[in-house]
Homo-oligomer: A and B are copies of this chain.
């Protein structure tokens, strides 16, 4: 990557680099119009493109916002990414993308890389977990984040705080009310369904999953229902599918009147697919509800009951807070009951 420099432009325009800098890249001081034009012309004719790295070095700020997601191809994160992207553009910044695939160690690496690039802020949208085997990696991540914040970085975490991150300044959390919403979903479902509930969840210690389970159980309890059985599996479509196969067997064996709550939409779809693959029908043989309200899945039949989350907003909020705009706009979702949880007449 070679390209013409400010100095070249300045020489061609017959001015000093200082002046060229002032006219080309916003400065408080505005050189005279005639000079400005000369410079602009010179820049144009040379195809000058300012070197953002050098600019960043000089003013020590990069205009970069780092985003780490679990998997960019997952519609949940893709939506959040879009929100971050939009907010970044409004702030005149660019987003640096990293995927962590659920490994705290990978998240740490990403954070370190962002720090190295002197990203002004970081949005962390992986999936926080407290698994035993991740303890070390998690605390390493926390250390890295603390260091980043200590150096003046801003970080916004969506969902749950990173375990062990202690830094006071520069650390924001976009709290998604998973628990409350799950409770409210449970409450709504209890009026529709008098039978048993079962929740298909992710692996233990995955915060998002655990919160939703807890909220759901609380909602059931508040309605005077028994706690739901919890079926642990992968936090993915195929995890849901596996669970679905197993449940289908039980349903076929006579276990009727079941309402299945999968802790996210993608899993719910997996569950549904598996159940239908066994010649059972939804909602006839089992009710199903999800969580997230993934856009791409809205045309699924029967329409999936779920909890709507303003994913794009969540991303945008995270980016805005990380960007220093601290106006607090709480995240709110809402239960969206659709056909997958309505017993047929």
| Contact surface of A with B, Cβ cutoff 8 Å | 1-3, 47, 49-54, 56-57, 60-62, 67, 71-75, 78-79, 81-82, 85-86, 89, 94-99, 112-113, 115-118, 120, 147, 150-153, 237, 266, 269-270, 272-273, 276, 294-297, 299-301, 312
Contact = CB atoms under 8 A, between A and B. Distances in A.
Given A56-B53, A97-B85, A1 B71 contact: no
Given A57-B53, A95-B96, A299-B269, A1 B73 contact: no
Nearest first, the 10 A-B pairs at minimum CB distance are A73-B82, A273-B299, A78-B78, A52-B116, A3-B151, A52-B117, A53-B56, A97-B97, A1-B118, A53-B53
Contacts of A266: 296
Nearest to A272: B299
Given A73-B81, A78-B78, A94-B98, A57 B49 contact: no
A309 to B, nearest CB: 14
A86 B146 CA distance: 27
A49 B50 CA distance: 25
A56 to B, nearest CB: 5
12 contacts: A1-B120, A52-B116, A53-B57, A53-B62, A53-B118, A72-B72, A73-B295, A75-B75, A81-B97, A95-B98, A300-B300, A300-B301
A1 B60 contact: yes
Contacts of A78: 72-75, 78
A99 B85 contact: yes
A230 B215 CA distance: 50
A247 to B, nearest CB: 16
Contact of A152 (B2, B51, B294, B312): B2
A182 B127 CA distance: 39
A25 to B, nearest CB: 10
A96 B89 CA distance: 13
Contacts of A50: 116
Nearest to A294: B296
B85 A72 contact: yes
B118 A52 contact: yes
Contacts of A56: 53
* Most B CB within 10 A of own CB, among A57, A72, A270: A72
B62 A73 contact: no
Contact of A297 (B53, B60, B97, B296): B296
A98 B82 CA distance: 10
A273 B157 CA distance: 36
